[in-house]
Amino acid sequence: MELIVCKDEIAWVESINTWLSINIERYNISRVFLPAGDTPRPLYKFWESRGAPFSENLKLIQLDEIISGLSAGSFRTFFKETLPSFINQFEFIDEADKGAQLAVLGLGANGHVAFHEPGLDKDFFSGCVNLSADTILRNKLSAGTRAVSYGVGAFLLTQAIILIVRGEAKKNILRNILSAGCDLPAAQLMSHPNLVIITDIKI
């Protein structure tokens, strides 16, 4: 595992783009997992305004989606609104279950990645999940909200993983998953031989 601490958001975006460019070429990648949410917004804003470090032939694979309640389908909407120039490259999670060769992942406040929640089997590949009370509260969702998601089992099969972490609100959970003995889903990524964590947080 390599930890890269960036001085600011601009450097954070540049580092992620560099990592993507290098690894897409190195492994001849055709499919990349991409997360929704607030963390990658600066990255996606850069892509929309200045271009992305990949060709139009690259498939962008949706990691997860809410499938019940008033927020059902909201992640698909997020991508349509945030990355409209790339929407034809997307493969939404309800369209296939093939996984990807490279993973860009965010870090949830409770240690989840995508919607692979704490308590799910460590080898969970993909399927429907019940969201934890903490996730429901933080995302302002209805009680009992369900989702469909890829999991750590799928991510560990990729050629390389980048865990992108931004903002002081994630400092404690980042420290937690970096500590010895942590068994949260994000900590399971540490077993991957080609994992990079890029953050703007001073640990």
- Confidence (pLDDT) at 203: 81
Identify whether the C-beta of residue 86 lies closer than 8 Å to the C-beta of residue 52: yes
pLDDT surpassing 80 at residue 87:
yes
Q: What is the DSSP string of 79-138?
A: HHHH-GGGGGGEE-TTT-----SEEEEE--TTS-BTTB-TTS-TT--EEEEEPPHHHHHH
Q: What is the CATH number of domain 2-65+73-114+152-199?
A: 3.40.50.1360
- Confidence (pLDDT) at 154: 97
| Average pLDDT, rounded, for the chain | 96
pTM of the entire predicted model: 0.96
Identify whether the C-beta of residue 163 lies closer than 8 Å to the C-beta of residue 197: yes
* 100-119: average pLDDT: 97
- Confidence (pLDDT) at 114: 98
